[in-house]
Amino acid sequence: MPMPPPTPRIKHRLLLLATSLSLLLLSFLSAQKSFTVADDDGHRARVLLADDGDSSDADAEHAAAVDRHCAGTLHRDVCVSTLATIPNLAQKPLRDVISDVVGRAASAVRASSANCTSYLRRSRQLRMRDRLALSDCVELFGHTLDQLGTAAAELSAGNHTAEESIAGVQTVLSAAMTNQYTCLDGFAGPSASEDGRVRPYIQGRIYHVAHLVSNSLAMPPTGGGCSSRAACLRRTWWWRRTGAGTTRR
């Protein structure tokens, strides 16, 4: 027995279904023009790919600017995820880009400080080494915020050239990065098995701060990047010993 022809209502539903599937397919294809990156603190961001002809010029310029600024950084994933969310990146001068990264670092420092303070409130449950190390970290975070504030002020100073502003922040940014590793070193015991018990729960945020600051140091053409943590620390020692990059007042 032949099937009856579809009714107008069924035809309408089939048309709606076909339209929905087409829109879903277009959305999927559009999503393939971007990818997701995550930094070492778990933050995720969508990064636009510079397609040969389909991406807009603005998207292509933004992707090119991210690639250019992150080319010499040691922690590229952190750099990409940070710069991907900065609006009008391609139109910003270098010192404004560094200033934005410094601002993100300051926010991350505040989060780390709050995290360490929350553990200090449970001091009765902590070993003496952990209590002392946490207290030192909170103090170091205060110094770090002062240093990042100095860097932000230097970068926004209108009486300096861009080159002078960037050179002027090298020392304070390097010191801010060193503070993070000094904080973590305070938890070290006589052996790896005797390290403080709190460190695994706080080090992710602290490393994130250090990586943000490291990237801001590597962005300037004169910064030279850092091939390793040791290389960054050696450069810090040289700057302090020679007085190079002293912040102008």
Look at residue 244 and tell me whether its pLDDT is greater than 60.
no
3-state secondary structure (DSSP) of residue 126: coil
Q: Which residues contact 197 (CB under 8 A, 6 or more apart)?
A: 126, 127, 130
pLDDT average, residue stretch 207-212? 97
Q: pTM here?
A: 0.68
Q: Which domains does the chain have, with CATH numbers?
A: 33-92 (no CATH), 93-242 (1.20.140.40)
Question: In the predicted model, what is the mean pLDDT of residues 49-57?
Answer: 56
- CB within 8 Å of 74: residues ≥ 6 apart: 211, 214, 215, 218, 225, 226, 227, 228, 232
- Over 60: is that where the pLDDT of 202 sits? yes
Q: Give pLDDT, residue 161.
A: 72
Contact 119, 135 (CB under 8 A): no
Q: What is the pLDDT at residue 219?
A: 86
* Mean pLDDT value of segment 221-249: 42
Q: Is the pLDDT confidence value at 6 over 80?
A: no
Share of the chain above pLDDT 70, in %: 61
pLDDT at 173 over 60: yes
pLDDT at 110: 98
How long is the chain?
A: 249
Kindly tell me if the per-residue pLDDT of 92 is higher than 80: yes
Question: What distance in Å separates the CA atoms of residue 124 and residue 6, rounded to the nearest whole number?
Answer: 75
